[in-house]
Structure 1
């Protein structure tokens, strides 16, 4: 009995329970937000009376998300950097704890919007407060930093992908439930009240877990000395390579990440809007099932990392993930029925591999004391990229809605192909795998 209690306590001190609770809260929140915005779009006023009702509703929904996500891109930039600096100075929990307050107030604010029929513009203020708490940018960077410093360089990409797998499994379960949970209390309190209350409660549990239970575990081998040894070994393999080779690789990795994230998120953020219109015209339950099916790629991507890392380099693994996403999202351009949607998503089975693997490569280029700020800088760069691709994809979607709604998915596939170029250059500049193994053997 004592041994079992100790085992349970050990598990609770790990970061996985926190991620489980956080993902439950986030999934319930965004699932409710999508449906509340759709409900409000029905009664929205349309400035262009000659515009078809469905197109007007699509414009209302896409405009709301454009402003909402732009706020989420801008607001966290400075707070995330400050929290990262605090983390690198020893306050490793700070980038995780502070954003949890932002998550909680977002769920609470949307709950108040539903209960008291407040205007949807109130959520813009909630998004700003969430951003000022560091947002997902600070939270995810803090999590990735703890994972990076608590794992060896060889196993880092696998450990990061395992975390993505946990995220995906929780998201699948949450989305399967969310469509049904959203409809509870629809007659008296309003649709989504139970779901949002559960979401807020999850974030309260998250805060308690971080403050009371979470253990910060750092491996000694991930010190500045080890990172310097890796850097020197890399330069010695390519004797003619300039001393700034690692910096050039980091710039290329940043560029590839920004391109891939722009192409991926620009299309995926509009996907729920796309499926809520004709010819698919999904309801809350179908949307939950579709999102859950899309979340299966967390599992397939994890299996891909486990299998591929045995025979190919991390660069090749990244390229496989990018090809997987590009092919699936291009097929999505021509989806006209539900079964075609699921076929398109099945092609994305390895599309989550690139970002965790790139983070793993970046964490190996810097000393432990700069790991947090490096990963946060990556997230901040994605925020700046979002300032361009979010309005661009939204306006392109609105302009092409009448003649080719899937054009944004074709554009996304094209940008993803462009992201393969800097990754390929990094692969050409990097030492061969067998040479690295020889160095480690010495």
Structure 2
């Protein structure tokens, strides 16, 4: 039988495997999210314009020295306090259950349900713009997003499908590329958001209509692609294949290791034997890393949540296009993190790379505290985007930082960024202790081996 007879049987397989790619869903979802984030800020700002801000301000009787811009800033800040609480807390009601259903019945459950929540929340913003509804309707839209599992349920499902569709020696690269696609899509969406928002500016009720419609379209594409096109890949793991001691990407060590719960035990057997008393210091390392993560996350989340308010008021007073460009600068973290891991991991340990990220973020936050011109903002961003942010204490931090911003914006508007810089440098202390302990234990292991 000639080769022409075997071709019809061989070509459907590659096309079938293309349907297991989760990348189109990641790109379209993040594109919708970046458009939505910029649109939400600009729509809320327009809603709390002159005359409307005093009705929603936290202070029932603002002092005479309060400028209209300050009243608007307080109103926007109070909105985001409630909005971030809703977004952060409602997924707790559903994310775990969606994960359980996905593991037990079908891997696409958490992805599809969370994408349904994304679509409903973006529809809420579109209807608010189209029908000129009160801004409080966006709280309900955020609740629908959270009840669908939110980003945590979506991204856990993406990681599961990405891992299933990759062999063990390629899994690390696949997960890093998914992060990179997430950042590139967010960058493109943010760059276009300001220009899209300016369409139909002549009619007040239609301001932001094109932007929100594009966000809804991208979210709808992601949902229907997940339902109708996406297929769950068969596991490509090979149990009989011997696992390497460290699964790396282009020589990188300590990042995106193979998702094998038994691998750490196998590495211990292949490497140095554990020395007496090692189990107890391991608990110390975990505790120190938790402390560092929580302190550092206070700095990161607080800065990220306050920054959109900061750029809207004097001295920057950004317009819609500049707001989009500023948000796009934040997404370059995915590119710099990808390159940084490839470069620094060849020379440094994990703890050293973590401290590099913390120092860069702390330096950037300190520069942002004294920003007076737009170019200074981007200089601060160059440092900030090098850090690897966490999402452990976002709900509490968002509320606290917004209140701090309201209380200090008249005296020193950069207080939140200065506080973030202090917390970022403070978080280096436990990481340094961990690095010191690791070096000491490594030296101890070398001595005992000799």
Q: TM exceeds 0.5? A: yes
Match of 1:190?
206
Alignment partner of 1:256 is 2:263: no
Alignment partner of 1:15 is 2:15: no
Q: What is the CA–CA distance in structure 2 between the aligned matches of 1:247 and 1:232, rounded to whole Å?
A: 20
In the alignment, is the contact (CA less than 8 A) between 2:164 and 2:233 conserved in 1? Answer: no
Deviation at 1:227, TM superposition (A): 4.6
In the alignment, is the contact (CA less than 8 A) between 1:161 and 1:305 conserved in 2? Answer: no
Structure number with bigger Rg: 2
Match of 1:202?
218
2:125 to 90, 104, 110: 110
Deviations along 1:198-225, one digit per CA (max 9) or x if unpaired, are: 2112122212222332434543455544
RMSD of Structure 2 on Structure 1 (CA): 3.1
Higher relative contact order structure (alpha carbons within 8 Å, sequence separation ≥ 6): 1
Deviations along 1:376-405, one digit per CA (max 9) or x if unpaired, are: xxx6xx2xx233211210111111101111
Q: What is the CA–CA distance in structure 1 between the aligned matches of 2:270 and 2:404, rounded to whole Å?
A: 47
In the alignment, is the contact (CA less than 8 A) between 2:295 and 2:426 conserved in 1? Answer: yes
Matches within 5 A, 1:31-42: 31-42=38-49
Match of 1:44?
53
Match of 2:358?
322
In the alignment, is the contact (CA less than 8 A) between 1:329 and 1:409 conserved in 2? Answer: yes
Match of 1:373?
none
Match of 2:254?
none
Structure 2 residues not aligned, in runs of 5+: 1-6, 240-258
> Cα 1:202–1:214, aligned 2, differ >3 Å: closer, same or farther?
farther
Deviations along 1:8-55, one digit per CA (max 9) or x if unpaired, are: 764452222111010011011111101001101112225315221111
Match of 1:351?
387
Deviations along 1:244-290, one digit per CA (max 9) or x if unpaired, are: 66555444444433332221011111111100101110010111112
> Cα 1:113–1:266, aligned 2, differ >3 Å: closer, same or farther?
same
In the alignment, is the contact (CA less than 8 A) between 1:185 and 1:191 conserved in 2? Answer: yes
Q: What is the CA–CA distance in structure 2 between the aligned matches of 1:272 and 1:202, rounded to whole Å?
A: 23
Match of 1:371?
none
Matches within 5 A, 1:31-430: 31-42=38-49, 43-45=52-54, 46=57, 47=60, 48-50=62-64, 51-89=66-104, 91-147=106-162, 159-188=174-203, 190-211=206-227, 212-216=229-233, 218=235, 219-220=237-238, 222-230=259-267, 237-243=273-279, 249-352=285-388, 355=390, 382=392, 385-430=393-438
In the alignment, is the contact (CA less than 8 A) between 1:92 and 1:216 conserved in 2? Answer: no
Q: What is the CA–CA distance in structure 2 between the aligned matches of 1:31 and 1:159, rounded to whole Å?
A: 29
Q: What is the CA–CA distance in structure 2 between the aligned matches of 1:18 and 1:433, rounded to whole Å?
A: 44
Structure number with the higher helix fraction is 1
Deviation at 1:292, TM superposition (A): 1.6
> Cα 1:329–1:52, aligned 2, differ >3 Å: closer, same or farther?
same
In the alignment, is the contact (CA less than 8 A) between 2:107 and 2:161 conserved in 1? Answer: yes
> Cα 1:233–1:151, aligned 2, differ >3 Å: closer, same or farther?
farther
In the alignment, is the contact (CA less than 8 A) between 1:19 and 1:167 conserved in 2? Answer: yes
In the alignment, is the contact (CA less than 8 A) between 2:268 and 2:274 conserved in 1? Answer: no
SS in 2 for 1:85: helix
In the alignment, is the contact (CA less than 8 A) between 2:17 and 2:233 conserved in 1? Answer: no
Deviation at 1:420, TM superposition (A): 2.6
Match of 1:372?
none
Deviation at 1:125, TM superposition (A): 1.2
Deviation at 1:92, TM superposition (A): 2.8
Deviation at 1:426, TM superposition (A): 3.9
TM-score between the two structures when normalised by the length of structure 1: 0.82
Report the more deviating stretch, 389-398 or 307-316.
307-316
Q: What is the CA–CA distance in structure 2 between the aligned matches of 1:155 and 1:274, rounded to whole Å?
A: 42
